[in-house]
Amino acid sequence: MDIAGIILAGGLGTRMGRVKKAFLTIRGQTIVDRLLAVYRPLFSEILISARDLDDFADYPYPLAPDKYEARSSLTGIHAGLVAMRASHGFMAACDGPFLQPGLVRALLEQAAPEDDVVIPLKDDGYVEPLCAVYSKRCLPFIEAQLQSENYRIIGFFDQVRVRKVPISLLRQGDPHQVSFFNVNTPDDLRQAERLAEELGI
């Protein structure tokens, strides 16, 4: 399958004191650089979806600018889908510093061309929409939501073909389940630093 890797880097970082989370460092490496290290071996097409394009001017990857004014993850997903050449795009947010290549690879292996969304299903019944594959076929449904100011990512899922992948099929690629760890607050960042030291990641 033709799948692009897209980093969602448009967050305001409100709970981090309006610090842009893409450039937070853990063990001396920014989150965006951590994600790129995962993406490079997996995707021939890599894009950065961002509102403030100047922030990423030094990166050798195409930028996907937001098409809608509202800042939301759904806005970033939309921008990435519009800009990519591939039929499908894997999306991850730049507040997740520990995305594991094994988990991404296992998720991609579950994807079929007819799928519109391929998404991890956790043991608690919740899905992970910011560690998932989306097809270009999702665009009209996402656009309808954005125009109606509905920013809930899963809001259009009942209109497309969704493959929910149980975490049991992905766990081998991420034994410590750190791919879904998010840094939203200063406390999260301190915890991330401790976790990185403990696991050597």
Surface-to-core class of residue 151, CB atoms within 10 Å of its CB (0-12 exposed, 13-18 middle, 19+ buried): middle
Taking the CB of residue 78, how many other CB atoms lie within 10 A of it?
23
Low-confidence residues in the chain, pLDDT < 50: none
DSSP H/E element including 46? strand 46-50
Domain-wise residue ranges, the chain: 3-199
DSSP H/E element including 169? none
Query: For position 135, what pLDDT does the model report?
Result: 98
Pick 3-199's CATH classification: 3.40.225.10, 3.20.20.140, 3.90.550.10, 3.10.20.340: 3.90.550.10
| Contact predicate 19/85, CB 8 Å | no
Surface-to-core class of residue 1, CB atoms within 10 Å of its CB (0-12 exposed, 13-18 middle, 19+ buried): middle
List Cβ neighbours of 171 (8 Å cut-off, separation of 6 or more). Answer: 177
Query: For position 12, what pLDDT does the model report?
Result: 60
Query: For position 19, what pLDDT does the model report?
Result: 76
| Contact predicate 127/164, CB 8 Å | yes
pLDDT in tens, 127-179: 999 999 999 999 999 999 999 999 999 999 999 999 999 999 999 999 999 99
Query: Computed from CA positions of residues 86, 3, 146, 165, in that sequence, does the dihedral angle turn out positive or negative?
Result: positive
- Closest C-alpha to 98, from 35, 47, 5: 35
List Cβ neighbours of 192 (8 Å cut-off, separation of 6 or more). Answer: 26, 97, 98, 181, 183
List Cβ neighbours of 100 (8 Å cut-off, separation of 6 or more). Answer: 38, 173, 174, 178, 179
